[in-house]
Each structure stands twice: as structure tokens, then as C-alpha cells.
Amino acid sequence: MNKGNYKCPLTQALGVIGGKWKPLIIYQLEKSKKRFGEIDTNIPGISRKVLTTQLNELVEDKLVERTAYAETPPRVEYSLTEKGKELIPILRSIAKWGNYLVQ
């Protein structure tokens, strides 16, 4: 049942920011662009494969921009797009609301 793929904007949006690691990644990029390895070491517990996947999805959803430099060794930088930056205050309001859940 429910073969149709329609999702309301809310469900879509929650899918985009709802991954286990995505909020953390977005927070990483809030203040400045960062390299892949930086994000990896700043988020304890995440594997590189998962980080890659999440970053790719964020790029595809236009929240994050990826810039690769043709150097050796390679350098890749990630930064928030305008759409991504718009999300920050919303995430803050969610976090504020969710504070009661944390002891």
C-alpha cells in the first residue's frame, strides 16, 4: 500500500535533516567551510563511509556545497549553501524545544 511517492514538504524536509549524523555535520559547517578529514575527526564515532554518504546527500539536496581542488594530495572542502544557512535558526529552535527531553 501507499505506492505513491508523494511526500509533504515537512516529511521531505525531515528526511533531509533527519539522518543520524546530518545535524552534527551541518553544525560543523556552520562557522566555516571544512575539509573532509576535519569533519571526520570532529565527529567522533562516524565512519568515513557514512560521512561520505551523508555529505553526498546533503550536496544533492543543495544544503552543502562541495569544492574539490586538483592538488596532490587532494583537498576537498565543504560549506553550507544559502539554503543550508537558512536551516540553522530552525535547527536551533528545534534544539531549544527538545531540551526538555535531555536530563
Query: At its nearest, how many Å lie between DNA and the CB of residue 28?
Result: 13
Q: What residue 11 binds from its own copies, DNA, none (CB within 5 to 8 A, per partner kind)?
A: its own copies
Residue 28 burial (CB count, 10 A): 19
23 lies in the binding site for DNA (CB under 7 A): no
Binding partner at 42 among DNA, its own copies, none, C-beta below 5 to 8 Å by kind: none
The C-alpha angle 10, 13, 37, rounded to 5 degrees, equals: 160
Binding of residue 73 to DNA (CB under 7 A): yes
Q: What are phi and psi of 78, to 5 degrees?
A: -120, 140
